[in-house]
Amino acid sequence: MSKKIPKTSTPKHALNIGNQIFLYDVVLPEQKITVHWHEFYEFEIILSGTGEILFNNKIFPIKPGTTSLTTPVDFHELNITSPLHILCIQFSTESISKDILARFCSLEKNIFYCNRNQTERTVSFINLLKDNFYNEVPSDIYVSRLLETLLLSFEKDFTTSENKYEH
């Protein structure tokens, strides 16, 4: 019998901020999360903590500022060595425009390190997304455009071949 690789789903505590976009802010304890995949896209930034991620058979260290974009064809595993504070946005193919999604479908790399300014900008974007949820402004267009803007602000980082983390 072959070992089945689990897919993961959106955590119960995630905010559904509209247009099939979910947001969560979580601290994960030291643990190993086995190889898995998602049926959705996932943009994550690590605010604190350490560990390693096995991403499509390549190992990368995790530290504050580590940013990743996981697509439905990516397999990954986490080995958390100190609690990870993660901000994560999960979204479907219907959440953003096909033109922008196409820019991220065949990435040269899925993981890179954010500097302090990029991290602060990302947290600001995520706070704008949260504000939309808490203010109960039902605007899928607003949420989608904010997510697209966030992704496009990292396009150069995800599409250059240089990768500071690769072992």
**What is the tens place of the pLDDT at every residue in 34-83?**
999 999 999 999 999 999 999 989 999 999 999 999 989 899 999 999 99
**Using CA atoms, how far apart are residues 101 and 12, in angstroms rounded to an integer?**
26
For the chain, first and last CA: distance in Å? Answer: 33
**3-class DSSP state for residue 135?**
coil
Checking DSSP bridges between strand 41-55 and strand 76-91, what pairing results, if any? antiparallel
Q: Return the DSSP state at 12.
A: T
Read off the amino acid at residue 64.
P
**Using CA atoms, how far apart are residues 153 and 147, in angstroms rounded to an integer?**
10
Query: What is the reported pLDDT for 64?
Result: 96
Query: What is the reported pLDDT for 131?
Result: 79
Reported confidence tier of residue 137, pLDDT bands at 50, 70, 90: low
**Pick the residue with more confidence: 99 or 9?**
99
